[in-house]
Copies of this chain bind each other. A is one copy, B any other.
């Protein structure tokens, strides 16, 4: 069995906690390293195995990830846990490789306009960067997985609509560059389930034996419906954050990633075993509330609890 099949088995869903990276992009107060490590450990105890733990971006701009190596270390210490870190340039990639992290994530914007405005480079340049990342990975000792996320893949904060053909062209380019899998990201939460389903179906078909990941934001309340649509089309890797932590610089007041707890409930309700204990997972929100009291947490399961019935009935 190949490395990726061990880490992301094709016959089950893999739910990735991205709160420690994407969830912390915009928070007002950063959790302590100790809190991050407890967050990882307690979610691991609840059954979570995939953690996006931070990024190797300049610490001056992203001080919340200065301790990324410590969190990578915590994940590495837990049997069967898998850590993911973002790296966008060669310095970052080399640092990520040196850290021993299990997976390195890179990004390319779906539109040229967003690529230039956000990353100050062309999409071709971003793809070249991903190709270089794969070469460095191949030359490395521990050979982490590499994924490329297509940001703004379902709607762009600059252009509005995005041509799915362009997204699929980029998926193809990323696979050609050597990534282990591609993530489709609704970065600004523009999409509904029909659009997500259609793009997921085309991407899954295009990627063949390689998996497709869906990264959804719940900006307009469609997150869970979009996740359901992606699952229906064969997507088996889904991102979420505990309590829906996170926000969006392009949509003030918007919620963040799709709520991890509700995503677990969705998967279980659709017959996908997640191996995650929902009550234990919900209990981890306590760490977020204590460390980031100003952040609003979301989620239906945390409010209402698991469905009851006889046991709970008055």
On A, residues with C-beta under 8 Å from B are 155-161, 188-195, 218-222, 224-225, 227-229, 248, 250-251, 253-255, 259, 262, 265-266, 268-271, 299-301, 303-305, 307-313
Q: Is the CB of A220 within 8 A of B271?
A: no
Partner of A193, one of B155, B228, B253: B228
Q: How far is the CA of A220 from the CA of B308 in the complex (A)?
A: 12
Q: How far is the CA of A311 from the CA of B218 in the complex (A)?
A: 22
Known pairs A194-B271, A220-B262 / 20 extra A-B pairs, C-beta < 8 Å: A157-B309, A157-B312, A158-B313, A160-B308, A160-B311, A192-B265, A194-B269, A219-B300, A220-B265, A221-B259, A221-B299, A222-B224, A222-B262, A225-B225, A248-B304, A250-B308, A251-B304, A251-B308, A254-B300, A255-B304
Q: Is the CB of A303 within 8 A of B255?
A: yes
The copy count of this chain in the complex is 2
Residues of B within 8 A of A228 (CB): 192-193, 225, 228-229
Q: Is the CB of A221 within 8 A of B222?
A: no
State the Cβ distance, A294 to closest chain B Cβ, in Å. Answer: 16
State the Cβ distance, A69 to closest chain B Cβ, in Å. Answer: 34
Partner of A254, one of B248, B304, B311: B304
Q: Is the CB of A307 within 8 A of B155?
A: yes
State the Cβ distance, A75 to closest chain B Cβ, in Å. Answer: 27
Q: Is the CB of A313 within 8 A of B157?
A: yes
Q: Is the CB of B189 within 8 A of A222?
A: no
Which 10 residue pairs are nearest across A and B when measured between Cβ atoms?
A160-B309, A192-B269, A221-B300, A221-B262, A220-B300, A225-B225, A254-B304, A190-B307, A251-B304, A224-B225
Given A269-B193, A269-B194, also A160-B225 (CB < 8 A): no
A-B contact pairs, 24 of them (CB 8 A): A157-B308, A158-B309, A158-B313, A160-B308, A161-B309, A189-B300, A189-B304, A191-B269, A193-B270, A194-B269, A194-B271, A219-B303, A219-B304, A220-B307, A221-B259, A222-B262, A222-B265, A225-B225, A228-B228, A251-B304, A251-B305, A251-B308, A254-B303, A255-B303
Chain B minimum-CB-distance residue to A299: B221
Q: Is the CB of A301 within 8 A of B221?
A: yes
Partner of A227, one of B225, B227, B266: B225
Q: Is the CB of A265 within 8 A of B160?
A: no
State the Cβ distance, A127 to closest chain B Cβ, in Å. Answer: 24
State the Cβ distance, A288 to closest chain B Cβ, in Å. Answer: 17
Residues of B within 8 A of A311 (CB): 160
Q: Is the CB of A159 within 8 A of B269?
A: no
Q: How far is the CA of A190 from the CA of B304 in the complex (A)?
A: 10
Chain B minimum-CB-distance residue to A296: B303
Partner of A188, one of B269, B301, B307: B307
State the Cβ distance, A236 to closest chain B Cβ, in Å. Answer: 16
